[in-house]
Amino acid sequence: MTTKLYLDPAADLNLILWGDPQIARIHPDREENLAAACETVAAADGRADALILLGDVAEYGAASEYATVQRHLAVAARNTDRIFCVSGNHDIRARSFRRQCARFSDFLAGVPNGVPNPPGCYWFPAVIKNYRFLFMGADKTCFEGTYLSPAQLSWLAEELDAAKEEGKPAFVFNHQPLLHTNGLPATWGGSGSWRGSVGDQNDALRSVFKRHGGEIVYVTGHLHAGISRCSVEHSGRLHMINVPTVGCPNHPENDAPAQGFVLRVYQNRIEGRGILFRTGEEMDESIPNARFSIPLPCESK
Ligand SMILES: [Fe+2]
Ligand SMILES: [Fe+2]
């Protein structure tokens, strides 16, 4: 029996979320997982509004690695209207910030339906069917955490307030989760006071989320953690979704390859489904957060 990824034409939005492909020549399994996942999207029943990759696209940030990802995303692009990638620490570390930022933008410009980051930075907004999508990224070279400039944090605050004014949830995409959320530090290996999180500017970012906007969906990668009870966490109107890696092995207990989420966004709720993207089948519902729902109290204007 053929299993197909199902995308709901009745939803306002169908979003596909993948974490960390982290393509590297020395790890061919990662490319195999990504290739299979892209074929699954191409063969889906229904069309996606967006495919979003949550950073660590390339293990070493090399041009040849991005070329490989480009080739596979071109397959997924047959059945998705837009492809976005946020940058991760592996994309930017040990590289010239300016040159790597341009490389990342060129990479996305070369993907059919890809949406490149603007010149000189990784953060930018997009509007899809009246929903605001806010893509974040480091403003200087960082090894593991992320540095968010005052300009980026001000921009984020303004965008969140605008979404609230419109009566819509805002979707925010960044590589690293907030400190002590989504199972940190255990989901990062269990040690350290900040590791696995945004890092030094965790409190500044959390403060923006606390003081601005209405319903906020904060979507991250970085942890390589399979879908579990830690994948989705709520703090009032802030909803934090951590997405497993589509390329690397996932840990700890749920190690199925090429995991990800589909979000179906409706006026009054968001439905999440954990998907095994090698085949497109839904993850067994006995796994916590393989299916979840976020009610949206906002009223559309
Ligand atoms: Fe990663
Ligand atoms: Fe990472």
CB atoms within 10 A of CB 11: 19
Q: Which ligand is nearest to the CA of 245?
A: 1
Q: How far is the CA of 176 from the centre of ligand 2 (A)?
A: 7
Q: How far is the CA of 286 from the centre of ligand 2 (A)?
A: 28
Q: How far is the CA of 196 from the centre of ligand 2 (A)?
A: 8
pLDDT at 299: 55
Among the listed residues 126, 32, 36, 111, the one whose alpha carbon sits nearest the alpha carbon of residue 78: 111
Q: How far is the CA of 205 from the centre of ligand 1 (A)?
A: 21
pLDDT at 2: 54
CATH fold for the domain made of 13-295: Purple Acid Phosphatase; chain A, domain 2 (3.60.21)
pLDDT at 298: 54
Phi, psi for 247 (deg, rounded to 5):
-105, -50
CA distance 240 to 193: 20
In degrees to the nearest 10, what's the CA dihedral of 40, 116, 135, 70? 30
Q: Which ligand is nearest to the CA of 196?
A: 2
Q: How far is the CA of 67 from the centre of ligand 2 (A)?
A: 20
CA distance 134 to 123: 7
CB atoms within 10 A of CB 263: 23
**pTM for this entry:** 0.97
Q: How far is the CA of 94 from the centre of ligand 2 (A)?
A: 14
Q: How far is the CA of 266 from the centre of ligand 1 (A)?
A: 30
Q: Which ligand is nearest to the CA of 225?
A: 1
Instruction: From first to last of the 301 residues of the chain, give the pLDDT tens digit.
Output: 457 999 999 999 999 999 999 999 999 999 999 999 999 999 999 999 999 999 999 999 999 999 999 999 999 999 999 999 999 999 999 899 999 999 999 999 999 999 999 999 999 999 999 999 999 999 999 888 899 999 999 999 999 999 999 999 999 999 999 999 999 998 988 777 788 999 999 999 999 999 999 999 999 999 999 999 999 999 999 999 999 999 999 987 899 999 999 999 999 999 999 999 999 999 999 999 999 999 998 554 4
Q: How far is the CA of 56 from the centre of ligand 2 (A)?
A: 5
Q: How far is the CA of 145 from the centre of ligand 2 (A)?
A: 8
Q: How far is the CA of 162 from the centre of ligand 2 (A)?
A: 30
Q: How far is the CA of 181 from the centre of ligand 2 (A)?
A: 16
